Structure 1
Amino acid sequence: MLALSAKGVLPRVDYAIFADTGWEPQAVYRHLDRLERYIAEPAGIPILRVSSGNIRKDALDPHHRFASMPLYILNQDGKPGMTRRQCTGEYKIKPLKKQVRELLGYPYPARIPRDVYVEQWVGISTDEFHRAKDSDVKYMRNRHPLIDIGWSRADCVKYLTSLGLADTPKSSCLGCPFHGNAQWRSIRDSSPQEWADVVAFDAAIRKGNARANATGNRLLGEAFLHRSRVPLDQAPIDHVTAAEWAALQQELGDSAADAQELEDGVIDSCSPWACRGEVEPVQDDFGLAS
């Protein structure tokens, strides 16, 4: 959308905002710098970078309140579960709304007049039109330009390729539990340093986040980044044995879509307004999905 606006295909936007969780792959930060230098700046469009902190550091800091990631849980009785997903709201949506309020001249807790609002563009393509929603606040009115012009994900890739941006990386936290096996392999094979980082993080959160442990709320079970619920450096990201496939079929349901999701991750985007893990898991008293 930024390129389409900068090139005059879509109207010129006033700002582009990137909510930084502090733990994106380095390829994403390099791409953002490239977009700013070659696309946004020549068109006079400022890219504003906002943040609520570093999600990795916060999870391991016993003194910091942590908005939980959707970790895969192996309960004490052997049953699987998931922790609650709060990270999108805390590390994406919250800083975006704060920035929008400041742009409008009404920082929190000031009341914003009804007739004061921004038109917010959300990059949902026709492939995922079902995720196009209205904003939950009156001072942000959502518009979905890619749907308006009838563009699919393939159309976006074709256009980016024409601009020399065919290698645009997928934006998501480096250690996002919604990664598929292909994404985990890509990290392992292309960036050993980042792979070591996510493996170390996976081990560090085995008993839950540090703040919960420090306050005596130790996880009743074990937490993992990979859906197989084994340590990441042992997870079956290269192949799945017959026994593992049978277990996954029982857990996920026996369908081609499940097999594709296992390999590619959750298909839909990781936009803050259309998170790939949008459906919240059901919670029990221990914060685990039932």
Structure 2
Amino acid sequence: MTRPPVIAAWGAGVDSTAMIIELAERGEPVDMVLFADPGSEKNQTYAFIPLFRAWMDERGIPSEIVRYQPRNFKNWPPYATIAENMLSNATLPSVVFGGGSCSQKWKVAPQEAWTAGWEPARRCWDGGGQVTKLIGYDASARDTQRYRHALGCEDPRYHYRYPLREWGWDRARCAARIVAAGLPVPPKSSCFFCGAMKPDEVMDLSVDELRVIVLMEARARPRLRNVQGLWRKPVLGCRGATPRPGSITEFIRERGLLSPSEIDRIVEIAPDELLDFQAAQAALPVERRTPMGDWLYDFQHAAAAMRITTRLPDDPERASARSRLSQGGPGATL
């Protein structure tokens, strides 16, 4: 390969999907497409991923799915997804508190780790070159802000290119391009509990996703001081904004997306059951601990999940463990 290798960062949303479609139509090279899976994308996104990977395969565009691999679990049950991470630590995504480290940890870092072992990239860097990385920021005002921020965070190993901005495409143009290619328009890419979601995105979530949101906010509530939940604080609906509470749980209740009894049962019982599970696992060597994903599976699929069999008897040691875990325990940050 005489030219620098080209990698496209694919979020499985509208913008980056349209970018790849148009690049293929123009005959521009894309040597690899990387999707970083945090394990907690929307169900609709996971349905779209194999469709578009098949579309790329038909056109000779290789793709890989990469993942962050948690390793240091301290006293926690092993977790594999960002949702399980949040539930373990009794916290909410960093975007709720004005940060963005969840994207760096679960999206950017896995792509960089994969690329570091990719032979075309290694040869390029050994020769003093830069890998071309394609980013799907469109020409909208919001993505212009993201683009300007990204300019100050670029890695010297990469030449960053923003094709949608070169073409002057906004989100509507991207959606139209996907339709023209004969593909369904994917939902906006994000974790299903992202604090940046709009109310209409919550309305489209599945029951399983809504249940985890209720559990996540209930689990984090003892530690919250300046925010009400995943949406931080209420929006009153001024200047055309859609009114909403600061807690997505309250929105779910207001809109009847889950029954009041289901919400109450999760809020009143599930956090304590999760604490009991964590306390039981903390007493075991890490290699013998039951993964957090197993507990979450039971929470979703078993009618008796709220009375999980790992519940410990009430005693001073259990009370101490629950107190510690309810506050997130040591190192309970992203």
TM-score of Structure 1 vs Structure 2, range by shorter chain: 0.5 to 0.7
In 1: Cα distance, 2:253 partner to 2:29 partner: 43
Counting only pairs closer than 5 Å after superposition, residues 43-54 of structure 1 correspond to structure 2 as 43-52=59-68, 53-54=80-81
1:157 equivalent to 2:175? Answer yes
1:70 equivalent to 2:102? Answer no
In 2: Cα distance, 1:67 partner to 1:184 partner: 20
8 Å contact from structure 1 (residues 19, 95) kept in 2: yes
Select which of 12, 16, 19 maps to 2:29.
Answer: 12
Report the aligned-residue RMSD. 3.2
8 Å contact from structure 2 (residues 91, 219) kept in 1: no
8 Å contact from structure 1 (residues 199, 233) kept in 2: yes
Deviation at 1:116, TM superposition (A): 3.1
Matched with 2:156 is: 138
Counting only pairs closer than 5 Å after superposition, residues 98-113 of structure 1 correspond to structure 2 as 98-104=113-119, 112-113=125-126
8 Å contact from structure 1 (residues 114, 139) kept in 2: no
Matched with 1:226 is: 231
Residue type of the alignment partner of 1:47: S
Residue type of the alignment partner of 1:18: F
Matched with 2:294 is: none
Matched with 1:214 is: none
In 1: Cα distance, 2:131 partner to 2:226 partner: 44
Select which of 209, 217, 227 maps to 1:202.
Answer: 217
In 1: Cα distance, 2:127 partner to 2:145 partner: 28
8 Å contact from structure 2 (residues 210, 252) kept in 1: no
Task: Give percent identity, aligned residues only.
Answer: 22
The CA deviation string for residues 241-273 of structure 1, in whole angstroms up to 9 with x for no partner, is: xxxxxxxxxxxxxxxxxxxxxxxxxxxxxxxxx
The CA deviation string for residues 175-225 of structure 1, in whole angstroms up to 9 with x for no partner, is: 0011122222222xxx222211222222122234xxxxxxxxxx6566611
The TM-score with structure 1 as length reference comes to 0.63
The DSSP-based 3-state class of the residue aligned with 2:214 is helix
In 2: Cα distance, 1:131 partner to 1:99 partner: 24
8 Å contact from structure 1 (residues 203, 231) kept in 2: no
The CA deviation string for residues 126-185 of structure 1, in whole angstroms up to 9 with x for no partner, is: 213343344621111100111222222221111111123243211101100111222222
The DSSP-based 3-state class of the residue aligned with 1:207 is helix
Matched with 2:3 is: none
8 Å contact from structure 2 (residues 121, 131) kept in 1: no
Select which of 135, 138, 144 maps to 1:129.
Answer: 144
In 1: Cα distance, 2:95 partner to 2:38 partner: 17
In 2: Cα distance, 1:115 partner to 1:181 partner: 47
Aligned pair count? 211
8 Å contact from structure 1 (residues 40, 46) kept in 2: yes
Counting only pairs closer than 5 Å after superposition, residues 229-240 of structure 1 correspond to structure 2 as 231-235=247-251
8 Å contact from structure 2 (residues 92, 220) kept in 1: no
The TM-score with structure 2 as length reference comes to 0.56
8 Å contact from structure 1 (residues 68, 83) kept in 2: no
The CA deviation string for residues 18-67 of structure 1, in whole angstroms up to 9 with x for no partner, is: 01111001110111110011x210111121111114101112235xxx99
In 1: Cα distance, 2:27 partner to 2:254 partner: 42
Deviation at 1:231, TM superposition (A): 4.4
Matched with 2:83 is: 56
1:118 equivalent to 2:141? Answer no
Structure 2: tracts of 5 or more residues without a match:
1-18, 69-79, 235-244, 256-331
In 2: Cα distance, 1:207 partner to 1:162 partner: 49
Deviation at 1:226, TM superposition (A): 2.4
Residue type of the alignment partner of 1:125: D
Structure 1 residues 166 and 113 mapped into 2: Cα distance closer, same or farther (>3 Å)? Answer: same
In 2: Cα distance, 1:57 partner to 1:47 partner: 26
1:180 equivalent to 2:185? Answer no
8 Å contact from structure 1 (residues 125, 147) kept in 2: yes
